[in-house]
């Protein structure tokens, strides 16, 4: 069994190497994960962290580490977030020992929601499931050049939405909630904030696309450049809030809308697109796989409550 203790400044180089190794392996196995890593910056971030980092030592060798960032959601709920570079382990026993201490500290701080983003591979994902986490979301990417020209059924056209389409955006986002509140997701999405949605529509980086059928809106999507994040390629367009009115589903509308946006994005210099979907939203999962998304990461959650 490894020994678990808190990170000391002299351990940082080994933690950075562990993260670099995991990211390198991930990028070898999946072309949508970028190998680029600024070791100096990562080392500085570990040295400067206020949140504790636990490390696992076997003999003299570092065999794992775990830390989290605590974030308050709009609802006031506080969660501990573990990003792919915030954990490493050589097996479930090491992860279990690390989480026993780290999780106890988060719980003592009143943080009962523990969220983990990790590579979508059995060896990275399954140990978390083994210790009680459940898979909630999956992320996927594709190369925009893999998509062809849009093929619209007659009567449909795409227009750019504006801040004046706020009510429409609220309507479509509620439709998405309807889908995910129903089983098998049984999700409990946080209440939609109109002000937050308006901010998104007004953001110059957001493209709010609206599909109309004979002048009536029937679908939407919101896309924006993915913020720089470790492991993601530059020039990636993030796709979100893709929703089609139920009576217009299954006619290729979402596909045509995204293909038209892909053509535009490529002209603007984007090379990749990525998206996150709830794994229990089976229609969305099937749609994105069909559209050509290759899974990259999964998000797992542990909510510590009464059994």
Q: How far apart are CA 187 and CA 213, in angstroms?
A: 30
Q: Which two tokens stand for residue 33?
A: 């994960």
Contact (Cβ atoms closer than 8 angstroms) between residue 197 and residue 170: yes
Quick check: 226 binds ligand COA (CB under 6 A)? no
> Footprint of ligand COA on residues 172-211 (CB under 6 A)?
176, 179
Quick check: 218 binds ligand COA (CB under 6 A)? no
Q: Which two tokens stand for residue 237?
A: 């367009």
The residue behind tokens 């509620």 is 174
Residue 233 Cβ vs ligand COA, minimum distance, rounded to whole Å = 20
Q: Which of 45, 70, 255, 271 contacts ligand COA by CB under 6 A? A: 255
Name which of 68 and 254 has its Cβ closer to ligand COA.
Answer: 254
Please provide residue 269's backbone torsions phi and psi, each rounded to the nearest 5 degrees: 100, 5
Name which of 43 and 292 has its Cβ closer to ligand COA.
Answer: 292
Residue 174's H or E segment, with its range, is helix 166-181
Quick check: 252 binds ligand COA (CB under 6 A)? yes
> Footprint of ligand COA on residues 266-305 (CB under 6 A)?
277, 281, 283-284, 286-287, 290
Residue 167 Cβ vs ligand COA, minimum distance, rounded to whole Å = 18
Q: Which two tokens stand for residue 61?
A: 């060798």
Q: How far apart are CA 65 and CA 95, in angstroms?
A: 8
Residue 134 Cβ vs ligand COA, minimum distance, rounded to whole Å = 18
* Half-sphere exposure for 48 (CA within 13 Å, toward CB): 6
Q: How far apart are CA 300 and CA 247, in angstroms?
A: 33
Q: Which of 222, 253, 262, 273 contacts ligand COA by CB under 6 A? A: 253
Quick check: 242 binds ligand COA (CB under 6 A)? yes
Q: Is 28 helix (H, G, I), strand (E, B) or coil?
A: helix
Q: How far apart are CA 180 and CA 187, in angstroms?
A: 6
Residue 297 Cβ vs ligand COA, minimum distance, rounded to whole Å = 15
Name which of 91 and 189 has its Cβ closer to ligand COA.
Answer: 189
Q: Which region among 12-20, 118-126, 196-204, 251-259 touches ligand COA (by CB under 6 A)?
A: 251-259
Number of residues that bind ligand COA (CB under 6 A): 19
Q: How far apart are CA 172 and CA 222, in angstroms?
A: 11
Q: Which residues bind ligand COA (CB under 6 A)?
A: 176, 179, 242-244, 249-255, 277, 281, 283-284, 286-287, 290
């Amino acid at each position: 069994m490894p020994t678990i203790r808190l990170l000391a400044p002299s351990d940082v180089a080994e933690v950075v190497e562990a993260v670099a190794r995991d990211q390198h392996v991930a990028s070898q196995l999946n072309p949508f994960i970028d190998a680029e890593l600024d070791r100096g910056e990562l080392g500085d971030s570990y040295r400067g962290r206020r949140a504790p980092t636990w490390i696992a030592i076997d003999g003299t060798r570092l065999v794992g580490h775990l830390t989290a960032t605590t974030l308050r959601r709009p609802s006031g709920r506080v969660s501990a977030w573990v990003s792919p570079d915030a954990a490493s382990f050589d097996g479930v026993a090491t992860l279990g020992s690390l989480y026993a201490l780290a999780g106890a500290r988060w719980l003592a701080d009143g943080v009962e929601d523990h969220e983990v983003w990790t590579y979508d591979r059995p060896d990275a994902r399954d140990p978390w499931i083994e210790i009680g986490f459940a898979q909630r979301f999956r992320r996927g990417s594709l190369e925009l050049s893999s998509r062809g020209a849009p093929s619209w059924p007659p009567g449909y056209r795409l227009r750019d939405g504006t801040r004046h389409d706020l009510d429409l955006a609220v309507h479509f986002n509620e439709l998405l909630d309807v889908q995910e509140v129903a089983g098998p997701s049984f999700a409990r999405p946080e209440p939609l904030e109109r002000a937050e949605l308006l901010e998104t529509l007004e953001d110059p980086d957001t493209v709010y696309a609206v599909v109309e059928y004979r002048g009536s809106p029937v679908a939407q999507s919101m896309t924006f450049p993915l913020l720089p994040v470790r492991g993601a390629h530059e020039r990636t367009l993030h796709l979100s809030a893709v929703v089609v009115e139920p009576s217009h589903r299954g006619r290729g509308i979402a596909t045509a809308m995204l293909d038209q946006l892909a053509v535009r994005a490529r002209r603007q210099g984007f090379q990749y697109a990525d998206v996150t979907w709830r794994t229990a939203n089976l229609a969305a999962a099937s749609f994105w796989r069909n559209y050509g998304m290759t899974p990259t990461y999964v998000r797992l959650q542990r909510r510590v409550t009464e059994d």
